[in-house]
């Protein structure tokens, strides 16, 4: 399954820790990511990730487009709920399109663990 991994800056350490903790499972999937998240994951984990554009430059929308076409089957998106994002409309669009298409979406570590154990294993 193609899995998208996305984290806002304050949440990138959580994403790296999460991916390292579940690398055995995630390595069996086709992982894509927004740009900076993907670069960090490629540098700091053993999971190979395909980085798209950075979130503020359209990366969230690229992932949303793959959700809409059925090419991306799960999204892990560690949002920072305490910091306003300049590209908030793009963030909302990605969350919305996951709901439109019933694609599993985890927005914090606890739900991401449930997604890995319940859907990706």
Ligand X SMILES: O=C(CO)COP(=O)(O)O
Which residues are annotated as part of the binding site for substrate? Answer: 8, 12, 34-37, 54-55, 87
d(C-alpha 48, C-alpha 96), whole Å: 27
Helix (H) or strand (E) holding 38: helix 35-44
Q: Which of residues 18, 26, 32, 60 is near ligand X by CB under 6 A?
A: 60
Helix (H) or strand (E) holding 67: helix 59-68
Q: Which of residues 6, 32, 106, 120 is near ligand X by CB under 6 A?
A: 6
Stretch that binds ligand X, among 23-31, 34-42, 99-107, 109-117 (CB under 6 A): 34-42
Distances (CA, A) of 76 to 18, 37, 85, 90: 10, 11, 18, 15
Which listed residue (30, 60, 71, 90) is catalytic? 60
Binding residues: 8, 12, 34-37, 54-55, 87
Dump the DSSP string for 104-121. -EE-SHHHHHHHIIIII-
d(C-alpha 106, C-alpha 58), whole Å: 20
Our answer to whether residue 60 is catalytic in this structure is: yes
Q: How far is the CB of 41 from ligand X (least distance, A)?
A: 9
> Which CB, 10 or 117, lies closer to ligand X?
10
- Active centre residues (catalytic): 60
List interacting residues with ligand X (CB under 6 A). Answer: 6, 8, 34-37, 54-56, 59-60, 91
């Amino acid at each position: 399954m193609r899995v998208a991994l996305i984290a806002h800056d304050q949440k990138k350490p959580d994403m790296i820790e999460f991916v390292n903790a579940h690398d055995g499972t995630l390595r069996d999937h086709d992982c894509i990511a927004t740009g900076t998240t993907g670069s960090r994951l490629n540098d700091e984990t053993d999971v190979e990730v395909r980085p798209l554009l950075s979130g503020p430059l359209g990366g969230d929308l690229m992932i949303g487009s793959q959700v809409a076409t059925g090419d991306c089957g799960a999204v892990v998106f560690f949002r920072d709920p305490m910091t306003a994002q300049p590209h908030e409309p793009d963030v909302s669009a990605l969350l919305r399109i996951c709901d439109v298409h019933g694609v599993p979406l985890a927005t914090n570590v606890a739900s991401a663990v449930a997604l890995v154990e319940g859907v990706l294993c």
